[in-house]
Structures are given as structure tokens and as C-alpha cells.
Structure 1
Amino acid sequence: MKRLLVIVGFLVIAVAVASGLQDCPAEDGEHPVFFEDPDDCGSFYECAYGKAHHIQCPPGTYYHPEINVCDFLEYAECGSRPTTPSPAPTPEPSSKESGK
């Protein structure tokens, strides 16, 4: 039984370390709690009801952890967090190209 508890304990710690996520407070406070996604500068987490909810910044913006907003890359302070460029929008075919 003791061995099983040790194994379960290690698994819990491994999952917590692998996720790299902060703990959210059990109850929401007066101000929302936000934190950066360590694997993507273009997204962040917002705590609500004790759980972290992953939020993607709009295309072309990145999470700025000091002011808790999505901002342009030159202002976002991504540090070592990876930045994934947003895909370019696909242009609509013109009526000449579509054969009309």
C-alpha cells in the first residue's frame, strides 16, 4: 500500500511539472488572475472557478504578461516563449479568376 501511495505521489508531481501551469485560486477574487502560456507567446490562461482556461490571442498579437493584454510582438515581451506566426489570410478569388 505504501508503495502505491509513493507511485501515485510521483505521478501527481510529474503531471504538475509537465504541465508547467500555475495553480489557480480556488475562489475568484476581486480581480481576475492571468498567466502566460510557457509554450506559446500567442496565448495565455485565465483562472475562473479554480481552473485555468486557455485563451488564444487574436491573429498578429501576443500575450503581454505585465499588463495582461494581447499586444503587438514588439511590445509583448515574449522572452523565451515561442512565437508562432499567424497564418496569412487567404485572399478571396476575384470574379475574373473564377471564370465569371
Structure 2
Amino acid sequence: MKSLVYALVAISVLAAPAVSFAQQSSSTVTREQVKAELTQLEKAGYNPGRRDPNYPEDIRAAQARVAAQNGTVPAQTGYGPAVGGSSGSGVPSK
């Protein structure tokens, strides 16, 4: 019985790397493109190594400067579509 348990443990240890493939990337952005974008942002005044309490505003400002230099519209950031509406809590609707 012990040899069966040892055999199962050995098989599972040997089989684990075979079933744990790296995630395939479906992104079309290459490393070179990311490095080029980071270089543009650094030239526009953004410093990624600096601890900055104004992080979101700084990166957005640098992205806007890069977009102005390239003559493009900066990408909108956020998740999901714009949603309008309201909600109330504890108030019955009539």
C-alpha cells in the first residue's frame, strides 16, 4: 500500500510541470513598443522611479504631453462604460 502511495506521489510530481504551461499572450503590444512608450513618457517629464503622491495626475499629464507631440487624442482611462443613474438606500420607491 505504501508503494502505491509513493508511486502516485511520484507520478503527480512528475506530471505537474507538463500540465502547468505558461499563459499564452494574446496582446499585440511588444516589449519594444512598451519600452518606446516608457521612453516617451520619461522625455515628457514622467519619472517612474520617484515616489509621488500625485501619481495618477503625473502620468496622465505626461500621457497628454506625449499625445500632443504625436498629434493624437490621449486614451481615456477607466473600466467599463460611462454609467448614469442614481440609487437610494432604505427608501421605498413609489
Give yes or no for TM over 0.5. Answer: no
- Structure with greater Cα Rg: 2
- Choose between structure 1 and 2: higher helix proportion: 2
Flag the structure with more relative contact order, 1 or 2, with Cα contacts below 8 A and sequence separation at least 6: 1
TM-score w.r.t. length of structure 2: 0.27
- Choose between structure 1 and 2: higher strand proportion: 1
